[in-house]
Amino acid sequence: MSGSERLTLTVTETAQTLNVSRPTVYRLIERKDFPALRIGKRVLVSRAGLLAWIERQAGKEAGAGE
């Protein structure tokens, strides 16, 4: 990770990264396995956690047809 790369994403940045709407991200945030954290009233998503979560989700989909 470069020194200028932030560790977290905002809800808007997460939505853009996943190519989904902000309401979809807020629904994902309610999931226990989604890498969101609350700091005061702000909700942030761990960049590394999001990448790992995506990998897990992709693995589940790939294994679903077997």
Neighbours of 35 (CB within 10 A): 20
CATH number at residue 59: 1.10.10
Q: What's the pTM value of the predicted model, to 2 decimals?
A: 0.82
Digit-coded pLDDT (tens) for 57-66: 998 876 665 5
3 is a domain residue: no
Q: Which residue has the higher pLDDT, 1 or 22?
A: 22
Digit-coded pLDDT (tens) for 12-36: 999 999 999 999 999 999 999 999 9
* Residue range(s) defining the domain that contains residue 25: 8-64
59 is a domain residue: yes
Whole-number Cα distances in Å, 34 to 4, 12, 18, 44: 24, 16, 13, 11
